């Protein structure tokens, strides 16, 4: 019996429709909960709102007063004009206020929440697409659910802050880099550099992006025993990051990361502060874990999956990206000296999602094969051969061809080469 075109289309795409229906529903539910019971305007938001009013043509005093009118009822003090527009830490963060200005003109101060909402929704879509093409629909659904049910990730991404937009730019840069590896085109490298610059003037967190890309290049080169194809994207991201940092320090010299580090370490010299780094790192990790145990176990599960995946599948490019991101985030967080409940790591969220997906994918493959393998071991054909075992767990399952994946590596039988090969 022939089906109608509509029914045929539905049957062909029902898994995709189910995936996006579930993820959209959970995202909207968490976002609605956040809007209803949590705050969206944070102390840092006052700077972005005032800057947006300034970009709309108001003089500094008027921009400050409009910000006071909105921040006052929310028990957030607004500093004097010279501090409001002169603090070097936030002065370079012009992208969010610029993009938000039209929405603030239309909807008032609440318009500052529009761009973060759109950015976080776009990040979720990009991450799920990358996870699905890399690991399949089930893995994309499971990781997407962890992302969407994390109250912290949804709130910090959709609140009136820069983290959501910064995380989106990192994901876009990685997507462009992987597409360039599949089909090199000069405009993609230019786009990667442009996205890095936009990210740098959204939030000074491009060190995370640069750390991830450079780690993928260096470690991938060591594993492949030849120069990794991630070289050009890594150099472009690294150069753009350093260039923006230097430019910002020249234009906005009123903030010093070194002074911030010394103050948080309670030290009078750099050497004394460095001796306090282990204590500071332990205090930050302990405080963040306790907070997540109490209020956001979805995020803690995501972090644990990602770290475990990074360690187990250490040959894979997802592991290299996450390792570089963790190292850069540690520098970024420790020099600021305060627990942030993953907030400082949010710009590199895409790397955590991919590493977690890698482990979940291997687990799903193991469960599926245990149905027909009496021992339940992924490498039962030759458990003594670690290369065969890794090929079973991370190679065949993770590199099955997907529509739109493009050509596969010619030396697809090499576990070492495949382990360092990025997904499209």
pLDDT digits (tens, 9 = 90+) for 321-339: 999 999 999 988 888 778 8
Q: pTM for the full model?
A: 0.87
What DSSP string runs through 191-243?
HHHHHHHHHHTT-S-HHHHHHHHHHHHHHHHHHHTS--TTHHHHHHHHHHHHH
The pLDDT value given to residue 400: 40
Mean pLDDT of the 126-144 span: 96
154 and 34 Cβ atoms separated by less than 8 Å: yes
The long-range contacts involving 155-158, CB below 8 angstroms and separated by at least 24 positions, are 155/34, 155/38, 156/342, 156/343, 156/346, 157/116, 157/119, 157/120, 157/123, 157/346, 158/31, 158/34, 158/40, 158/113, 158/116, 158/117, 158/120
Per-residue pLDDT for 205 more than 60? yes
Token couple for 202:
């959204």
Residue 412 CB neighbour total at 10 angstroms: 12
Query: Residues for the chain: how many in total?
Result: 424
Per-residue pLDDT for 377 more than 80? no
Residue owning tokens 């992302």: 147
Q: What is the pLDDT of residues 342-367, one digit of tens each?
A: 999 999 999 999 999 999 999 999 98
Distance CA 195, CA 187 (A): 12
* Averaged pLDDT score across all residues of the chain: 86
Tell me which H or E stretch contains 349: helix 349-370
- CA-based end-to-end distance of the chain: 39
Distance CA 164, CA 98 (A): 15
For residue 148, the Cα-to-chain-centroid distance in whole angstroms is: 14
Please choose, from the candidates 116, 106, 107, the residue with its C-alpha nearest in 3D space to the C-alpha of residue 48: 116
Residue 7 CB neighbour total at 10 angstroms: 10
Mean pLDDT of the 272-282 span: 84
134 and 12 Cβ atoms separated by less than 8 Å: no
């Amino acid at each position: 019996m022939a089906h109608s075109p509509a029914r045929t289309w539905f049957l062909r795409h029902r898994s995709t429709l189910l995936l996006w229906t579930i993820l959209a529903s959970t995202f909207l539910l968490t976002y609605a909960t956040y809007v209803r019971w949590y705050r969206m305007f944070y102390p840092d938001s006052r700077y972005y709102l005032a800057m947006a009013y300034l970009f709309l043509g108001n003089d500094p005093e008027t921009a400050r007063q409009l910000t006071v009118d909105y921040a006052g009822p929310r028990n957030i003090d607004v500093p004097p004009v010279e501090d409001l527009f002169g603090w070097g830490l936030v002065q370079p963060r012009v992208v969010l206020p610029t993009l938000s200005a039209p929405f603030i003109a239309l909807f008032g101060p609440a318009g500052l929440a529009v761009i973060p909402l759109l950015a976080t929704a776009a990040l979720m879509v990009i991450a799920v697409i990358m996870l699905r093409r890399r690991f399949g629909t089930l893995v994309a659904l499971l990781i997407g659910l962890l992302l969407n049910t994390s109250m912290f990730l949804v709130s910090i991404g959709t609140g009136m802050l820069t983290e959501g937009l910064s995380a989106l730019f990192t994901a876009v840069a990685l997507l462009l880099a992987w597409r360039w590896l599949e089909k090199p085109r000069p405009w993609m490298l230019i786009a990667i550099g442009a996205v890095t610059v936009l990210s740098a003037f959204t939030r000074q967190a491009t060190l995370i992006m640069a750390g991830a890309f450079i780690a993928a290049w260096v470690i991938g080169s060591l594993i492949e025993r030849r120069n990794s194809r991630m070289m050009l994207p890594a150099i472009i991201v690294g150069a753009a990051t350093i260039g923006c940092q230097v430019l910002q320090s020249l234009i906005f010299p009123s903030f010093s990361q070194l002074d911030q580090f010394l103050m948080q370490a309670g030290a009078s010299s750099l050497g004394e502060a460095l001796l306090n780094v282990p204590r500071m790192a332990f205090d930050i990790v302990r405080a963040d874990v306790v907070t997540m145990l109490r209020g956001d176990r979805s995020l803690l599960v995501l972090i644990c999956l990602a770290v475990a995946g990074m360690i187990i599948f250490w040959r894979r490019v997802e592991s290299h990206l996450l390792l570089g991101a963790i190292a850069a985030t540690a520098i970024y967080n420790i020099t600021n000296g305060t627990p942030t409940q993953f907030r400082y790591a949010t710009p590199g969220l895409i790397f955590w999602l991919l590493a977690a997906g890698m482990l979940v994918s291997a687990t799903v493959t193991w469960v599926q094969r245990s149905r027909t393998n009496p021992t339940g071991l992924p490498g039962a054909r030759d458990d003594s051969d670690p290369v065969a075992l890794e090929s079973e767990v991370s190679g065949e399952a993770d590199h099955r061809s997907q529509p739109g994946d493009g050509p596969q590596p010619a030396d697809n039988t090499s576990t070492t080469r495949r382990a360092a090969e990025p997904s499209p």
